[in-house]
Structure 1
Amino acid sequence: MFIMFRFLCRTTRKVIAEGDRDRDLALNLTTTQLGFSQNKIFPLRFLSSSSHVGKRALKTEQSEQEESLTLSYLINSCGLSLKCAVSASKLIQLKNTERADSVLRFLSDHGFIETQISKVVKGCPRVISFDPEKTLSPKIEFFRSMGVSRDEVAEIIARTPPLLSRSLKNHLIPNYNFLKNVVIDDKKVVTVLKRMGRGLLQDLRSKNLGPNIALLKDIGVPHSGIIFLVTNTSSAARSKHSKFCRIVDKVKEMGFDPTQIVFVMAVGVISQLKESVWESKFEVYRRWGWSEDETRAAFRKHPYCMLISEEKITRGMDFLVNRMGWLSRDISKWPEGLFFSLEKRIAPRCFVIQHLLSKGLIREDISPTAYLKLTEGKFMDMYITRFHEKVPQLLDVYEGKIDFLDVNPEFQRSVK
């Protein structure tokens, strides 16, 4: 009888002849102070034999023990799943846990929580073999020196663990200097760092972002527009250069002016949308009565109207058209209104205005944009505090404590 035993690592496979003795190596490794797997010991069984399979020699007992130690440490001390630990163990082998323990302590001491440490080890297994003071500390201090908070450093590195393996002198500092020259402000640099993810592993000067920025400058996009694109839509700014050129040409053909901020907004939107999604948004607006020209005009006014979900568009249009009696084509002239929260802004303000209109306290030709655009404080001053004595229940209507239809039962009939 032959027993086929597949070791958890892909490269180890053994066939043991009948009569060979198997041996259990129980791993009762203590967990670190991080406490990933308290009371969860991961036992592994290893079979030893002097037999050979073809020309493949069996691993030595020492290498087996190192392999089992590594796998167990990744699971019990680093919090990796079995599958991730097997994958990571192909890149790192531990002879002992002294250095790895010091790395985990270092990360914990610098604000990394357990889940973030697991992500770091999963994304860059070799990190547990790094010298904390010589390799990790300078990089952590570099991020802190640009104004990144302790928690933000942990967030950025947990999102892109291979950053810890990149050269500080040849990669991290040049990338930072490049971004700083583009967006100027350190706070915006931090925003980009948090959003860019694995894009930070590239050489930003030569890989897409640099050439894309050069193109925008060549066609007259002001530096403020470039800052807006890089800060708010970094994925679009570092699109493959050939694709970015096509998008820029398309936006120019739509009639956008490169000197206006809506130009880079449109570039960002188009870079994110597949053609099928673009067409589906046209169909949604078409169902609410917008012509294709009206939808394109709305896009030119506020490109982000094509990023609103179908559900949000439908709910907003349904309320404004069917309940408030607005004309659909009028909404196309002010697509920004669809971005506002229906529950927190649009409905409460519309109900207050309708209540005031029913009392004859404000003029009937008031434009919806006039009150929906206002800040919270200005709206309160102009339409609630001002009329509080004449309409005591106005604040309750605004805060939803009183149903608008309870004080205006004729309103629902008036818009149908």
Structure 2
Amino acid sequence: MDSSSEPVTVSGENEGAVLTSKWVELQSPERADSVLELLRNYGASQTQISKLIRSHPKLLSTDPEKTLLPKLEFFSSLEISKVDLLKTLTFNPKLLAVSLRNRILPTYNFLRSILSEKNVGVIFKHNSWIFLEGHCKHVVPNIGLLRESGMSQPCISFLLTRGTRVLMVNPEKFGQLVSEVKEMGFNLEKSTSVNALCALCGKNKLVLNRSRELLKTWGWSEDDFPSAFRKNPQCMVVSEKKLMQAMDLLVNKMGWSSGMIAKYPVALGLSLERRLIPRCSVVKVLLLKGFINENLNLGSLLKPTEKQFLEIFVNRYLGQVPELLSVYQGKVDIQDV
């Protein structure tokens, strides 16, 4: 049997793991061994190596010194941890196949002309596809359109960092998206316009439409949704489960009107476990004991920092309700106070 068609055994944490010849026709078993050794030296686990080879079999035929090592060294130079580097490469193994000189470096240089090294690292971790597709075809013309439309450079940088995929949309569709955002009354000089672009792009728009229909069942009017969206676009694209849990807590358990929540849509985007439930539990106790007015403004509950909230709603009443801090920390139930 030809040696190139024999199974390749990957030694390491999981002895005997086999990469079969159906994944790759090896020209050089020695080269394959060198590739595997290089990946292990960079801290890749056996599971990660297996995923990389399954997704990109030709990696075993790559020249480890001339092709693979320079890419690994470049990616390692970004401001990201080795753990994040390996997670990204395992998720998007084609990064090890695309040309460093002709695609990766030009895109990196473009990003660095606009962003800090740290934010380029953020893009690599969360939107590494831009290093595969490049920046010339879509990103550059789309940024040009935003500049012509009056978007400030800080907002463009914010969008490029946090919503990279939005800028990778076909320029014609992107132009329609920008027009839609402007028609909805967003000011392109403010960061809310960036959040709106992200919320209206791709799958998020489906989520947005679903949220609109769900909130109608809670009594939101035709005007409530667009008004709430203009105030806080990202809170309108949370999961269905999170949306329903938040509305159930605020409307059914706390007794606030659906219309009030529409005025403070930030409530729908806050963490239930870390923000909404602890604060609502404290306020519920204070309401039941008559220490605060039932017409409490929802914003005064949500806007304060944790330190401010503790001072206003917890520490002030500890003399009358000693268990209040424990309620806030989830150690004591409301009915036990």
Whether TM exceeds 0.5 here: the answer is yes
Which 10-residue stretch deviates more, 192-201 or 273-282? 273-282
Letter in structure 2 aligned against 1:340: L
Q: Any conservation in 1 of the 2:26–2:60 contact (CA below 8 Å)? A: no
Aligned match of 1:302 in 216, 222, 232? 232
Where does 1:36-51 land on structure 2 (aligned, <5 Å)? Answer: 36=14, 38=16
Q: Any conservation in 2 of the 1:36–1:114 contact (CA below 8 Å)? A: yes
Letter in structure 1 aligned against 2:249: F
Q: Identify unmatched segments of 5+ residues in structure 1.
A: 1-22, 41-72, 76-84, 408-416
Q: Which residue of 2 aligns with 1:244?
A: 174
Classify the secondary structure of the residue corresponding to 2:146: helix
Which 10-residue stretch deviates more, 369-378 or 328-337? 369-378
Change (3 A) 1:280 1:360: closer
Q: Which residue of 1 aligns with 2:111?
A: 179
Letter in structure 2 aligned against 1:402: V
Compare the two structures and name the one with the higher helix fraction: 2
Matched, 1:190 2:168: no
Change (3 A) 1:193 1:221: same
Displacement after TM superposition at 1:400 (Å):
2.9
Q: Any conservation in 1 of the 2:103–2:134 contact (CA below 8 Å)? A: yes
Where does 1:15-414 land on structure 2 (aligned, <5 Å)? Answer: 31-36=9-14, 38=16, 74-75=19-20, 86=22, 88-89=23-24, 93-182=25-114, 184-204=115-135, 206-273=136-203, 277-362=207-292, 365-407=295-337
Q: Which has the larger radius of gyration?
A: 1
How many pairs align? Answer: 335
Displacement after TM superposition at 1:193 (Å):
1.1
Bigger relative contact order, structure 1 or 2 (CA pairs below 8 A, ≥6 apart): 2
Q: Any conservation in 1 of the 2:198–2:204 contact (CA below 8 Å)? A: no
Distance in structure 1 (CA, Å) of the matches to 2:241 and 2:134: 39
Change (3 A) 1:95 1:139: closer
Change (3 A) 1:195 1:340: same
Q: Which residue of 2 aligns with 1:4?
A: none
Displacement after TM superposition at 1:155 (Å):
2.1
Change (3 A) 1:400 1:147: closer
Displacement after TM superposition at 1:275 (Å):
6.0
Q: Any conservation in 2 of the 1:265–1:303 contact (CA below 8 Å)? A: yes
Q: Any conservation in 1 of the 2:103–2:131 contact (CA below 8 Å)? A: no
Q: Percent identity?
A: 39
Displacement after TM superposition at 1:114 (Å):
1.6
Q: Identify unmatched segments of 5+ residues in structure 2.
A: none
Change (3 A) 1:153 1:402: closer
Q: CA RMSD in A?
A: 2.5
Change (3 A) 1:252 1:142: same
Distance in structure 2 (CA, Å) of the matches to 1:296 and 1:172: 40
Classify the secondary structure of the residue corresponding to 1:300: helix
Letter in structure 2 aligned against 1:165: A
Task: Name the TM-score, length of structure 2 as normaliser.
Answer: 0.90
Displacement after TM superposition at 1:225 (Å):
1.0
Distance in structure 2 (CA, Å) of the matches to 1:208 and 1:240: 6
Distance in structure 2 (CA, Å) of the matches to 1:241 and 1:302: 25
Change (3 A) 1:147 1:279: closer
Letter in structure 1 aligned against 2:19: L
Q: Any conservation in 2 of the 1:159–1:197 contact (CA below 8 Å)? A: no
Change (3 A) 1:209 1:95: closer
Displacement after TM superposition at 1:267 (Å):
0.9
